[in-house]
Amino acid sequence: MKFKLKVWRQKTATAPGKLVEYQAKDVSPNTSFLEMLDVVNEGLVAQGKEPIAFDSDCREGICGTCSLTINGEAHGPDHPGAACEVYMRRFKDGETIVVEPFRAKPFPLIKDLVVDRSALDRIVQAGGFIAARAGSAPEANSILVPKHEADRSMEAAACIGCGACAAACPNASAMLFTAAKVSHLAFLPQGQPERTTRVLKMVTAMDAEGFGNCTNTYECEAVCPASISASLIAKLNREYAIASLKRRAGE
Amino acid sequence: MIVAVTGVVLIAFVVGHLLGNLQIFLGPDWVNSYAEHLRALGPLLWAIRAFLLVSVLLHIFYTISLAIENRRARPVQYERKDNVKATFASRYMAMSGLIVLAFILYHLAHFTVRVTDPRFLLLKADPLNRYDVYSMMVYGFQNIFVSAFYIIGMFLLALHLSHGTSSFFQSLGLNDKKLTPRLALAGRIFAWLIFVGYTSIPIAVLFHLVKPAQEL
Amino acid sequence: MIGTLDSRIPSGPLAQKWATHKDHARLVSPNNRRKFQVIVVGSGLAGGAAAATLGELGYNVKCFCYQDSPRRAHSIAAQGGINAAKNYQNDGDSVFRLFYDTIKGGDFRSREANVYRLAEVSNLIIDHCVEQGVPFAREYGGLLANRSFGGAQVSRTFYARGQTGQQLLLGAYQALCRQIAAGTVAMFPQTEMLDLVLVDGHAKGIITRSLVTGKIAAHAADAVVLATGGYGNVFYLSTNARGCNVTATYRAYKKGALFANPCFTQIHPTCIPVSGQNQSKLTLMSESLRNDGRVWVPKKAGDKRSPKQIPEEERDYYLERKYPSFGNLAPRDISSRAAKEVCDEGRGVGESGRGVYLDFADAINRVGEQTIRERYGNLFHIYEKITGENAYERPMRIYPAVHYTMGGLWVDYNLMSNIPGLHVIGEANFSDHGANRLGASALMQGLADGYFVLPYTLPVYLAGQIGKRPPTDHQEFCKAEDEVRARTTKLLSINGSRSVDSFHRELGFLLWDKCGMARNTRGLREALTWIPEMREQFWRDVRVPGIGKEFNQSLERAGRVADFLEFAELMCIDALTRDESCGGHFREEHQTPDGEALRDDEHFADVFAWEYQGNGSIAAPKLHREPLVFETVELTQRSYK
């Protein structure tokens, strides 16, 4: 197979960027998208040019490092899945493929297709945890969690923190990311003591990072590689409303 | 949250207003007496109007400021952006909202303040000495441009509501995984019922199914 | 420089060693803890847990990782589960049994005391992780669920769907985030350790390079903890993440830390087979799949029929046939070798002929597709994404791939290397898995080290170190920084004709061939002549575009591959010197009549710890041996029949 690529190239955070055209030839349909970029990069290095910078690590869809917008879709056309799980058999031979970084103000660009997503870490630092000190835990089976609740919690906890939700959202909102963490912990009995403060702090941190607001377009859940449901955003809204009321009531 | 709550208020108004308007199919007496009853509310009517106005203003103020924030959240736009799931309606809420606002302003000027059509001043009171709202509506809609603008306005309103109605449940956290798709569908059906209801009036007038109760 | 290796194993009966050790270990009082600066390199299960726990205790911690967030450490990719001796299933499990299975699984090449301690703290880990909010699988009554895993006859593995590593790492990450917010941990993501700094023979700091700005910086500390994972990527293709590397531990080795058992690498039996030239990594299919999947190949060599057309009687369920009592759950080294064997006989499946079937048809008939979907849905999904095949309808094709490295820096019972102050935890050390690691034990070891061992053993060193932290303008820091700069400049200035990846690939294929699932004297000797040539060519002909003072992925990789090119030699030397077969180290010269690994306990019941003497071609590394003393278990021929 062969493809025409239009790849966003931008040398530094402040330099102007533009789409640059490359040809990818003799690509096997069983090559992954990132491996195809590897091959293009090998070619660039051979010509003495700088290879395209792009993020990836585990290349099996779990670490959340890869962050490409392929043909206008975060993580490309193969939902649910991360960009590293997209295979070239998904594209038509001879197709033009546009590759851009994740774009959102809280994700400043570092180089080419690489962006800084530390904003997501800061949201978790604001309260996305249970304050459990090592050595202080009771015997594991003394905390019973109904299977149904554990399953729901797991579904929320599956978030890989890639930021595709914010990248795909027309408003660059990170509600799905925040909702997943808030829900994961709110579904569990262990998460109850900090439930109120957690959601308030995390939402405040999210807003402070400059993410946009949710207007319920559900674009986030459509591109989420971990299939996190946007109904968790409703849950986040609910948790936030209740927590705000509780705080007002002075509890 | 405020957007959602004010949205609900406005949805309630839209439904109430539609029910009132549909009385046109029941004849002049129904409509005119309905209008008379509304006017008879006196200060209460003004209170309702004020409440609606505040709701509209809040709704607009917050949505516009949200829209500005949302634009700022992505200073560099995508060269190519495809949408996987987001509907047209959901992506152009501000646009449809603003056009609906323009329509409402015209609509108020047209039927409430009655400054756009000099013929309305010529209308005589009906046999029970009430203002002949019925004939006013019919004459108003006999103008094809008025009706066309009205239908376009209603179309955009329906578009706005097709996202807005179910969106309300999501924003207030009143749904879950199972309910969400059902609410989305219900919201869409509701919005298009509203559209059909409202547009039935100018259509009926244009096709002479409803005729004025008095000659000018 | 180094005398005899003192493993500092406490005396007394096995079951009391850890308790006694803790009772008498030196402590650092709470008000003194904040006077100490501890560097933790790596933020995976071991590093993340250690950084968080040391932060909770009140130490000042600096934590470094090359990823853009500590949550992305490769521990996240572990799928199957984590072992603990809870005996919740009432099936006869105990601390001793977990200890025994682990030491036997490691083919008797690990320390009794370390492994026993690991089994002991395993239960604490489960308690702690549950408390942190790790959503482990549950039974309907709300109790924790278990599944069975390779190399054990009890059901002791705790899991969170097929994402156990992810959930445990997020637990550690969240604890770490809490400490970052509290100010006890300073996090340095996208920062790579490029050298270790010794002052008066003690590890007192590191030199790092920011992967974003290219800035080279010195960090001083009272102790350094390496939690930088394994070196599986020396093989180029492995299940490790692309960024995993040996640089931190190898740099420490070059500064005098001993590297133990580098030839002990684990080849995981259930990975998706290689397809095509450009493949950049291999994907694991969790061992847990072998709970329900049956492994088979056609009986006839060269049988190219589709699997459904091959009738039952023409299939060879070779694991069930050869190891009736463990069957498809035979340990990893044994299953891998068995797969290689049948493929060597020409009975392999798939286009390349390097693959075997993992068939779920029986399990689907028995428990229904829905149950299988619940258990392994995400794995079947990954499989379909990569291969385009639906494993509910057609058996999976799997083949062994490099997955884990048991070898690592030598550490004593306190997890401290022979360099005072340098502690090594998780996969980066050598201590607990011997010559083969059992499934679901890596997560256990990483978290044990991070949460429950290091926090007790680090003070043993720190207690005597108040006020001994050197300033970063100390001459040793300046020297190390200059060396790092010079090396970076050198890499950028070669401007040859070949890419970094081309060297890495070449090295990886050579090692897979000569030092992979089976090794022999001739092959290892060949590798030992080729590696120095490859290295020489690398330093003459590599092309690293760009500059050092910016984000430069080619430069990052070049530094790592340069280290792999040296480390590979050490690995082959170790493999050659260990003239026996044990666990994952299979020397073809040493096998039983039916092809199993044949140990030589008389000569090789030792840890091989290598001391750097200069580059291989210049000076061979010096071997130190730590004899393994078995007071409790009896060394037997490992049998899973």
Residues C301-350 pLDDT 10s: 999 999 999 999 999 999 999 999 899 988 888 999 999 999 999 999 99
| pLDDT above 90: residue B100 | yes
The domain that contains A125 carries what CATH number? Answer: 1.10.1060.10
pLDDT digits (tens, 9 = 90+) for B136-148: 999 999 999 999 9
pLDDT digits (tens, 9 = 90+) for A200-246: 999 999 999 999 999 999 999 999 999 999 999 999 999 999 999 99
Mutate to test the interface with A, among C65, C68, C454 (most CBs of A within 10 A): C68
Q: What is the mean pLDDT of residues A149-178?
A: 97
Contact A215 B79 (CB under 8 A): no
Chain B positions in Cβ-Cβ contact with residue A233 (cut-off 8 Å): 170
Are both A243 and A130 inside the same structural domain?
yes
Q: What is the mean pLDDT of residues B127-139?
A: 89
Final residue of a structural domain among A65, A90, A111: A111
Contact C167 A157 (CB under 8 A): yes
A78 pLDDT tier (thresholds 50, 70, 90) = very high
Compute the nearest-CA separation of A136 from chain C (Å).
7
Compute the nearest-CA separation of B47 from chain A (Å).
28
Between chain A and chain C, how many beta carbons pairs sit less than 8 Å apart? 225
Q: Least CB-CB distance to B73: which of A211, A234, A240? A: A211
Share of residues in chain B with pLDDT > 90 (%): 74
Check whether domain C475-627 has CATH 1.20.58.100, yes or no: yes
pLDDT of C288: 84
Angle at which helix C164-182 crosses helix A147-157, to 10 degrees, equals 70
Assess B208–A contact: CB distance below 8 Å, yes or no. no
What angle is formed at CA B11 by the lines to CA B6 and CA B12, rounded to 5 degrees? Answer: 100
User: What's the mean pLDDT when you consider all of chain A?
Assistant: 96
Are both A97 and A155 inside the same structural domain?
no
Structurally, at CATH architecture level, domain C268-401 sits in Alpha-Beta Complex (3.90)
| pLDDT above 90: residue C477 | yes
Half-sphere exposure of A39 (CA within 13 A, CB side): 20
Full domain range(s) for residue A184: 118-248
Share of residues in chain C with pLDDT > 70 (%): 99
Q: Tell me how many domains chain A contains.
A: 2
Share of residues in chain A with pLDDT > 90 (%): 98
Q: What is the mean pLDDT of residues C234-247?
A: 97
Are both A93 and A166 inside the same structural domain?
no
Q: What is the mean pLDDT of residues C400-427?
A: 97
Are both A66 and A165 inside the same structural domain?
no
Q: Which of residues 105-134 of B touch A (CB under 8 A)?
A: none
pLDDT digits (tens, 9 = 90+) for C125-182: 999 999 999 999 999 999 999 998 877 889 999 999 889 999 999 999 999 999 999 9
Are both A27 and A7 inside the same structural domain?
yes
Chain A positions in Cβ-Cβ contact with residue B83 (cut-off 8 Å): 170, 217, 219
pLDDT of C278: 86
Q: What is the mean pLDDT of residues C44-59?
A: 98
Interface of A with B (CB under 8 A): 6, 8, 19, 69, 71-73, 79, 98, 100, 103-106, 109, 168, 170-173, 210-219, 221-223, 229-231, 233-241
Those chains having 3 or more beta-carbon pairs within 8 angstroms of chain C are A
Q: Which of residues 118-177 of A touch C (CB under 8 A)?
A: 118, 120-121, 124-126, 128-141, 143-147, 150-151, 153-154, 157-158, 160-161
Compute the nearest-CA separation of A222 from chain B (Å).
6
The alpha carbon dihedral of B108, B113, B115, B118 has a sign of positive
- Written as one string, the DSSP assignment of chain A is --EEEEEEE-SSSSS--EEEEEEE-S--TTSBHHHHHHHHHHHHHHTTPPPPP---SSSSSSS----EEETTEET-SSSSS-GGG-BGGGS-TT-EEEEEE---TTS-EEETTEE--HHHHHHHHTT-S----TT-PPPGGGS---HHHHHHHHHHHT-----HHHHHSTT---HHHHHHHHHHHHTSGGGSTTHHHHHHHHHHHHHHTT-----S--HHHHH-TT---THHHHHHHHHHHHHHHHHHTT-
Q: What is the mean pLDDT of residues B85-111?
A: 93
| pLDDT above 60: residue C616 | no
The alpha carbon dihedral of B81, B87, B91, B96 has a sign of positive
CA–CA distance, C154 with C148 (Å, rounded to integer): 6
| pLDDT above 80: residue C2 | no
In a domain, B215, yes or no: no
Between chain A and chain B, how many beta carbons pairs sit less than 8 Å apart? 121
Q: Tell me how many domains chain B contains.
A: 1
* CA nearest to B88 within chain A: A217
Q: Which amino acid, one-letter code, is at A66?
A: C
Hey, which residues of C are catalytic here? Answer: 332
Full domain range(s) for residue B62: 2-72+90-206
| pLDDT above 80: residue C276 | no
Q: What is the mean pLDDT of residues B57-75?
A: 95
Q: What is the mean pLDDT of residues C490-513?
A: 96
In a domain, B211, yes or no: no
C3 pLDDT tier (thresholds 50, 70, 90) = low
Q: What is the pTM of this model?
A: 0.95
Are both A99 and A122 inside the same structural domain?
no
Intervals of CATH 1.20.58.100 along chain C: 475-627
In a domain, B28, yes or no: yes
Q: What is the mean pLDDT of residues C86-96?
A: 97
pLDDT of A179: 98
B115 pLDDT tier (thresholds 50, 70, 90) = confident
pLDDT digits (tens, 9 = 90+) for C382-395: 899 899 899 999 99
pLDDT of C636: 87
